[in-house]
Amino acid sequence: MLCCATYPLIWIGGLITTTDAGMAVPDWPGTYGYNLWLYPWSTWFFGPWDLFVEHGHRLFASGVGLLTIGLVVVVFRCDRRAWLRWLALAALALVIWQGVLGGLRVVLNERLLGFAHGSTGPLFFALTAVIVALTARNDEPRPSGSDQAAPLWPWLLAGLIYLQIIAGAALRHVPEASSFNTFALHVQAHLWGALLVTLSVVAAAIVAWRWPVGRSPRVLASLMAAVLAVQVSLGVATWVAKYRLPAFAQTGVAADAWDAIAGAGTMAPSTAGGWTETYVVTGHSATGSLLLALAAAHAVVARRRTSTASNTELSSHRDEPSAASAGPA
């Protein structure tokens, strides 16, 4: 439930960055002097879009914070597995830190804190995905020959995707006074990161389908590949929506391809804050977080499929096996 609630929050956060609505409310933790929960709902609901989305983000985030507290309470009351308790505490610490970062970004009006806030959100989402993967029911028979050490590469893949998310967040939060060379550095880092992530996810999918890794890692690797395809498409669409075709693509094959797909002379101006630009760009940001969560879950599942010791440990301290599988995460 926490994991499912976090993903819309990631979307709303991305929406705020896309529409630059982060400063629609000047104070924190309250909203225009009101307690967060007591702000007049009519002003929020029928007021300006910026206020609607920013205050909504705060309300949603506080709900996620409460769910995280609930996770900690349930885990400490119903489960004695030490690692799960630590993970729940880590989630609580991370969500508090994330809230403070968001608040400081507003109070100090500092865009770089927005960058830190935007980088921490996906990390929290991935952590909830890890908790889901670790506490999920695991009735699959382990494939033969899987008694080897847990592979490290799925974690490296998740780390690589997270670095790419950081590069993307840096790109989205470049200060207005930055030079075009700073921005170019971010663009190039993000493009090279995209290439590396693409190759790595494709390799993970190939491994999952060619070797007997089990059903769950295979499903997750396939999902990653599918999400990656969507993500790359959204990345291209994001660029075109915001900056249109770069110089090299305005003539030759790329221009002909555009004319063939969209029709000659159809490059109308985008609408700042319009539906296409807003949701394509936000979708690209949110899909990156989804890819990270899948990669983190994949790494957990791959470890469970190959590590006898961890499987034993996972099941040895549970009070009730079914309680963990239907756990709060």
- Where on the chain is the footprint of other proteins (CB under 8 A)? 20, 22-26, 32, 43, 47-48, 50-51, 109, 112, 115, 170, 173-187, 242-247, 250-251, 259, 264-274, 277
Distance of CA 11 to the CA centre of its chain: 9
Nearest to other proteins of 48, 212 (CB atom): 48
Q: Cβ distance 241 to 271 under 8 Å?
A: no
Nearest to other proteins of 79, 277 (CB atom): 277
Nearest to other proteins of 58, 186 (CB atom): 186
Nearest to other proteins of 125, 239 (CB atom): 239
- Our CA dihedral for 144, 150, 154, 159, rounded to 10 degrees, sits at 170
Q: Shortest approach of other proteins to residue 22 CB, angstroms?
A: 8
Q: Shortest approach of other proteins to residue 159 CB, angstroms?
A: 17
Question: For the packed helices 275-306 and 308-316, what is the interaxial angle rounded to 10 degrees?
Answer: 100
Q: Shortest approach of other proteins to residue 53 CB, angstroms?
A: 13
Nearest to other proteins of 145, 269 (CB atom): 269
d(CA 88, CA 71): 7
Q: Shortest approach of other proteins to residue 25 CB, angstroms?
A: 7
Q: Cβ distance 173 to 114 under 8 Å?
A: yes
Residue with tokens 């050490």: 149
d(CA 192, CA 10): 24
Q: Shortest approach of other proteins to residue 234 CB, angstroms?
A: 18
Q: Shortest approach of other proteins to residue 27 CB, angstroms?
A: 10
Q: Shortest approach of other proteins to residue 249 CB, angstroms?
A: 9
Nearest to other proteins of 111, 218 (CB atom): 111
Query: Two tokens at 108?
Result: 């100090």
- Which among 211, 193, 206 has a CA at the least distance from the CA of 291? 193
d(CA 202, CA 74): 38
Distances, alpha carbon 249 to alpha carbons 244, 256, 257, 263, 266, in Å: 10, 9, 10, 15, 15
Distance of CA 323 to the CA centre of its chain: 27
Nearest to other proteins of 173, 284 (CB atom): 173
